[in-house]
């Protein structure tokens, strides 16, 4: 059985701040680098992130530029997408915060953030630290990529129609990405210190696999609703459940 090391100080050391609408955090503990090991008889964590309360109406974003490409109708905001039936919340990043060692981070996997019909796809992209992300423009109009990063090198560059740029993200951080050409366009790249994370699907469900046996702190992050934490115990070759409920603010 793998003995899990817990760093309570990581949780205690989180300092939160809100700056230009972007949630950022500064970690006091930096020395506890994640270690890649072979995971034998790991377990999985599954769960659902749910909304409790009346589902708020989707915010309408005014499309007032490049309508031939972006569409003649206004767009709905992706900032809080709740399934009408299951009340599951889409695009919530669920992650383990205090895991010291585990599976290899897939930093070579191709991560893509596209701009298509003047919308970022996906709206929330989670990657392991050290991942290079391809930032695409699938439209025939000029877009811009503006990263509101604090720890990673920031950028604010135009990308022409059909163009692409690649940026590497080395430091764990929540980064808001906007296109300053089209004010309604926004997305997030969430850079994680370890590979134990998932983004919820349209039913609010997630699955994190190949987790070493042990007890962990698990965290959910949603751009409008903030963070929630819980505890989860993972047993060999079993599925543990971790559900989260956000109540109306
Ligand atoms: Cu744009």
Q: Are 76 and 59 in contact (CB under 8 A)?
A: yes
The Å distance, Cα 122 to ligand 1 centre, comes to 14
Q: Are 217 and 22 in contact (CB under 8 A)?
A: no
Q: Are 97 and 217 in contact (CB under 8 A)?
A: yes
The Å distance, Cα 103 to ligand 1 centre, comes to 37
Eight-class DSSP state of 30 = -
Q: How confident is the prediction along the chain (249 residues), in pLDDT tens digits per residue? A: 334 434 333 333 333 333 333 444 444 444 468 999 999 999 999 999 999 999 999 999 999 999 999 999 999 999 999 999 999 999 999 999 989 999 999 888 789 999 999 999 999 999 999 999 999 999 999 999 999 999 999 999 999 999 999 999 999 999 999 999 999 999 999 999 999 999 999 999 999 999 999 999 999 999 999 999 999 999 999 999 999 999 986
The Å distance, Cα 143 to ligand 1 centre, comes to 4
- Which domains are delineated in the chain? 8-247 (2.60.40.420)
The Å distance, Cα 45 to ligand 1 centre, comes to 37
The Å distance, Cα 182 to ligand 1 centre, comes to 4
Q: Is the dihedral of CA 106, 107, 109, 110 positive or negative?
A: positive
The Å distance, Cα 188 to ligand 1 centre, comes to 15
Alpha-carbon distance of 198 to 44, in angstroms, equals 12
The Å distance, Cα 118 to ligand 1 centre, comes to 5
Eight-class DSSP state of 58 = P
The Å distance, Cα 189 to ligand 1 centre, comes to 17
Residue 234 confidence (pLDDT): 98
The Å distance, Cα 126 to ligand 1 centre, comes to 21
CA distances (Å), origin 165, targets 4, 144, 151, 155, 161: 39, 11, 20, 11, 12
Closest CA to 135 of 151, 155, 149, 153: 155
The Å distance, Cα 134 to ligand 1 centre, comes to 16
Provide φ and ψ at 9, rounded to 5°: -65, -25
Residue 236 confidence (pLDDT): 98
The Å distance, Cα 62 to ligand 1 centre, comes to 13
Residue 32 confidence (pLDDT): 60
């Amino acid at each position: 059985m793998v003995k899990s090391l817990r760093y309570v100080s990581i949780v205690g050391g989180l300092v939160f701040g809100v700056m230009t609408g972007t949630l950022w955090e500064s970690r006091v503990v930096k020395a506890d680098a994640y270690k890649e090991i072979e995971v034998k008889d790991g377990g999985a964590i599954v769960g659902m992130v749910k909304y409790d309360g009346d589902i708020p109406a989707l915010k309408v974003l005014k499309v007032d530029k490049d309508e031939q490409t972006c569409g003649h109708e206004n767009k709905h905001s992706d900032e809080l997408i709740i399934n009408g039936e299951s009340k599951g919340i889409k695009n919530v990043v669920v992650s383990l915060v205090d895991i010291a060692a585990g599976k290899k981070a897939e930093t070579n996997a191709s991560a893509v953030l596209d701009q298509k019909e003047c919308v970022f796809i996906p709206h929330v992209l989670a990657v392991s630290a050290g991942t290079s992300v391809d930032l695409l423009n699938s439209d025939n109009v000029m877009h811009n990529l503006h990263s509101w990063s604090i720890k990673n090198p920031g950028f604010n560059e135009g990308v022409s129609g059909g163009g692409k740029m690649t940026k590497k993200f080395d430091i764990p951080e929540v980064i808001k990405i906007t296109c300053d050409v089209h004010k309604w366009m926004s997305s997030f790249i969430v850079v994680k210190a370890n590979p134990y994370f998932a983004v919820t699907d349209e039913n609010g469900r997630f699955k994190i696999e190949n987790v070493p046996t042990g007890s962990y702190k698990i965290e959910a992050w949603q751009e409008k609703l903030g963070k929630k934490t819980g505890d989860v115990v993972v047993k060999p070759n079993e599925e543990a459940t971790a559900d989260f409920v956000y109540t109306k603010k």
